[in-house]
Structure 1
Amino acid sequence: MIPIQDLLHRIQWDPVFGKADFLIGYHDRVADQIIRVPFRSIQLARGEHFSFDIIDEEGTPRMVPFHRVREVWRNGELIWERRL
């Protein structure tokens, strides 16, 4: 399985692959559920190897560790999954 960091960077930098509609599903420990967010709401910082930021509905940035990502959807199809 491809590491999640590599997949997210491919979505970000591959102009053909990245044109699709992506959803990233991560485990929210407070809500104890998978939260799906559009890839466009993710901010990948250069040199960051442990997490990324998302912007929630209120505009507040939230840090999500890569190990909490559980699924990636491309055009409605599950293409990557990490089971607990």
Structure 2
Amino acid sequence: MASYAPLTPPEHELCSNEHSNEDNSPTLTPSLHENTSSKQVSREASPAAPETADEVYRSPRSTPKEPESMENRLRPAADVINRIIWDAKFDSEDYIIGYEDRFNGRLEASLGTWKKDLTDEEFIPQHRILYIKRKSDGEIVWDKRRRTDKIFYSGNSAYSWLSFLN
């Protein structure tokens, strides 16, 4: 069975041998104990192999960072339910949860009867929640498919709430 030497040197060799030049791109000086007689994987065998040594021995500091997503994420239903239950501004008896049942399709349950305990027989997982609606005026305050959240103003609701800035 053939043994191949790794294409990249160990971490301690990268740190100790790395020097930077004027354009801040890292270069690597050869190691003193490099074994030239060991077998290495040829570039022809690996079509996606980097072309230059700079691409092979890139420092984590010089790797460009990906820009973070600019979209506003929708808060999970569990956060909205907890806010309605624990915030004094909201009456938890005034809210209904619409969810997808595996056998009966779309159903609704009041927030007061919603079971969060995993061991409960009537437990419904959070990922099945479709919307949360206020009973008094019928307004949907959280909707997974439309990505609206009128409790925390996350998801698409943040853009409509901040539209006055334009």
TM-score (norm 2): 0.38
Gaps of 5+ in 1: 46-50, 54-60
The 2-side partners of 1:17 and 1:64 are apart by 23
Alignment of 1:1-84 (within 5 A): 1-18=74-91, 21-31=94-104, 33-45=105-117, 61-74=121-134, 75=136, 76-83=138-145
Q: How many residues align?
A: 70
CA RMSD of aligned residues (A): 2.1
Structure 1 runs of 4+ with >3 Å offset: none
Gaps of 5+ in 2: 1-73, 146-166
- Relative to structure 1, the CA distance from residue 41 to residue 81 in structure 2 (aligned partners, 3 Å threshold; closer, same or farther) is same
The CA deviation at 1:44 is: 3.4
User: For residues 9-64 of structure 1, what are the alpha-carbon distances to aligned partners after superposition, in whole Å with 9 as ceiling and x for unaligned?
Assistant: 00110011235610001100101x2111111111334xxxxx696xxxxxxx4110
TM-score (norm 1): 0.70
Q: Match of 1:40, as an amino acid?
A: G
Secondary structure of the corresponding residue to residue 81 of structure 2: helix
The 2-side partners of 1:10 and 1:18 are apart by 10
Name the structure with the higher strand share: 1
Is this contact kept in 1: 2:97–2:129, CA < 8 A? yes
Q: Identical aligned pairs, as a percentage?
A: 31
Secondary structure of the corresponding residue to residue 37 of structure 1: strand
Is this contact kept in 1: 2:132–2:143, CA < 8 A? yes
